[in-house]
A = this chain, B = another copy of it.
Amino acid sequence: MTDVLEAPSLARLDDTGRGLLFTDARTANTFADTPVTDAELSDIWELAKWAPTAANIQPLRVLFVRPGEGRERLVRHMADGNKAKTLAAPAVAVLAVDTQFHEHIPTLLPFRPELKDVFEGNETMRTETSQFNAALQAGYFILAVRAHGLAAGPMAGFDAAAVDAEFFPGGRLHSILVVNIGHPGQDPWFDRLPRLGHDDVVQWA
């Protein structure tokens, strides 16, 4: 026995998990009537929150919209092609960026609280960093929806300024993506669209 520390060993995701999150998962365009509970929605966030952001800033915010008056207020601001499926989704998430995310830095990055002031004094850096990291977290969020046995239907087609005025009147949050969430309904998927070829994407150095 020596006292050399062992390096940790990591497992691979099994084929079932790969299928669920990536290879078999599809964007849903119809949803079953099965409700999605508040506990399920909360747990989606509780899973997604662990994936990394730059300097741990976590700029993404989530508004969960349920059937009823909230959903009707949202549907008004969706693009025409997205209204029917959003109206049929048992839950919808409006993902937004917190433009004042840096106020949390002394809590989130306790060994470097002064980064708050760096962001405070540099609006370009603040905007670019928060937009990039909120989008990164939106990617985590979509996969976290799938991890809960639910189908995600992300949509960029909505009037973001109108959604912000409707739900985020303080002006601090800016919506970036709307995601329908539910159990898939009948005939829920379109034919799978092609992916770019390996050599169109990957380079080597």
Bound together, the chains give a CA A185 to CA B144 distance in angstroms of: 28
Number of A positions contacting B (CB below 8 A): 92
Bound together, the chains give a CA A108 to CA B200 distance in angstroms of: 12
Q: A21-B143, A132-B131, A144-B22 are in contact. Are A156 and B47 (CB under 8 A)?
A: no
A1 within 8 A of B: no
B147 and A63 contact, CB distance less than 8 A: no
Bound together, the chains give a CA A110 to CA B146 distance in angstroms of: 26
A205 and B63 contact, CB distance less than 8 A: yes
A202 and B45 contact, CB distance less than 8 A: yes
Nearest B residue to A101 by beta-carbon distance? B196
A195 and B135 contact, CB distance less than 8 A: no
A46 and B198 contact, CB distance less than 8 A: yes
Q: Which residues of A from 15 to 34 have beta carbons under 8 Å from B? A: 16-18, 20-23, 25, 27, 32
A73 within 8 A of B: yes
A residues bordering B, Cβ < 8 Å? 4-14, 16-18, 20-23, 25, 27, 32, 38, 42, 45-52, 54-56, 58, 60-66, 70, 73-74, 104, 107-110, 129, 131-133, 135-140, 142-144, 146-152, 154, 156, 167, 176-177, 183-188, 193-196, 198, 200-205
Other contacts beyond A21-B21, A22-B48, A104-B200: 13, CB < 8 A: A8-B184, A8-B188, A10-B20, A13-B21, A18-B147, A49-B195, A62-B202, A66-B205, A73-B205, A104-B196, A110-B194, A135-B136, A139-B139
22 CB-based A-B contacts, threshold 8 Å: A7-B184, A10-B149, A12-B149, A14-B16, A14-B17, A17-B17, A22-B144, A25-B50, A38-B204, A42-B198, A49-B196, A52-B152, A56-B193, A60-B201, A62-B202, A63-B205, A64-B204, A65-B205, A66-B205, A132-B176, A135-B136, A167-B205
